Amino acid sequence: MSASPLEALIFDVDGTLADTERVHLWAFNQAFAEFGLDWHWDDALYSELLQISGGKERMLHYWRACYPDMRELGSMALADTVNRLHELKTAAYEGAVHSGVVSLRPGVLKLIEEALNADVQLAIATTTSPVNIAALMRYALGADWRLSFTAIGDASTAPIKKPDPQVYLQMLAALQLPPTQCLAFEDSSNGLRAATAAGLATIITPTRYTAHHDFGDALRVLPDLDQVGLAQLHQWHMPKISTPSSITSAESAP
């Protein structure tokens, strides 16, 4: 069996391109305080809430789980409140990013530059908002950051959140490539499930919030991308001729 060429790298954003979750957590708590709520999410709770993809969805899940008997808000008022909370949270997050508290994870910028120099396409597949992506990437890559990416999928283009593969299927269509010619990069089990459901081999770089997730279906699980280059990715990406009974521990090891 001949190897399919590696033509594109598809990146998740939060936790993958940058370790943003601690800043998102801070921004959620800032929004709650500004809105006058007595909510406070700590690390342990936030790790659990990250099982829910999407900031608005996360807040709704928490609200309904903690206050199931609340009747004073109708469905529209509840949606309006969550939307306002999300606006406040997004503003707090943007301000934090612009202040320089977030940077790309080790090896990410080097891999992006190597891919661009080798004419390997880049794409983003995330469930976060376009505003959050722009804030991070503009700070990390400069005003022309969008020119580095062939396609970008986000909460505005893919409303069905991970672990549904919608955003990855959209990116494959935009890239005009089969999944066998692409690699995905994720940090969470929901992201891994979304990518593999779209047929993509996936590299996982966990964060402290996702280290306990099940990554059994990942191509590799790495602490970061610091020592990873295109040559290594090509080697890992090459399909192997094997049956389930003949897969060796070396091939399945992270």
pLDDT of residue 77: 80
The pLDDT of residue 34 is 97
Segment among 9-13, 54-58, 227-231 with least mean pLDDT: 54-58
Report the percentage of the chain scoring pLDDT > 70: 89
Query: What is the pLDDT, as a whole number, of residue 107?
Result: 98
At residue 88, does pLDDT exceed 80? yes
Query: Mean of the pLDDT values across residues 131-142?
Result: 93
Output the six-digit token pair for 238.
Answer: 């090459």
Q: Of the residues 14, 19, 164, 187, which is catalytic? A: 14
Q: Is the pLDDT of residue 18 over 80?
A: yes
* pLDDT tens by residue, 137-192: 999 999 999 999 999 999 999 999 999 999 999 999 999 999 999 999 999 999 99
**How confident is the model over 222-229, as a mean pLDDT?**
97
The pLDDT score that the predictor gives to residue 73 is: 60
pLDDT at 113 over 70: yes
The pLDDT, as a whole number, for residue 66 is 87
Task: Provide, rounded to the nearest whole percent, the portion of the chain with pLDDT above 90.
Answer: 81
Beta bridge partners of 152: 124
pLDDT at 174: 98
Q: Where are the alpha helices (DSSP H) in the chain?
A: 21-35, 43-49, 55-66, 75-98, 108-117, 130-141, 166-175, 189-197, 230-237, 249-252
Homologous superfamily of 8-20+103-252: HAD superfamily/HAD-like (3.40.50.1000)
C-alpha–C-alpha distance, residues 43 and 144, integer Å: 34
pLDDT: is 75 or 15 the higher one?
Answer: 15
> What 3-state DSSP class applies to 122?
strand
pLDDT higher than threshold 50 for residue 220: yes
Q: Catalytic residue among 12, 19, 164, 187, which?
A: 12
14 catalytically annotated: yes
* pLDDT, average across residues 119-134: 95
> Which pLDDT score, from 0 to 100, does residue 79 have?
85
Q: What is the mean pLDDT of the chain?
A: 90
Give 167 or 72, the one with higher predicted confidence: 167
pLDDT of residue 3: 56
Q: Is the pLDDT of residue 93 over 60?
A: yes
Task: Delimit the domains of the chain by residue range.
Answer: 8-20+103-252, 21-98
What's the CATH code, domain 21-98?
1.10.150.240
Distance of alpha carbon 240 from alpha carbon 251, whole angstroms:
9
Across 212-225, average pLDDT: 97
Kindly provide the b/e burial profile for residues 29-46, where b requires at least 16 CB atoms within 10 angstroms of the residue's own CB.
Answer: bbbbeeeeeebebeeeeb
The angle that helices 55-66 and 75-98 make with each other, rounded to 10 degrees, is 130
Determine whether 12 is an active site residue: yes
Other C-beta atoms closer than 10 Å to the C-beta of 198 total: 22
Residues 158 and 192: their CA atoms lie apart, in Å, by 16
3-state secondary structure of 81: helix
| Average pLDDT score over residue span 97-115 | 95
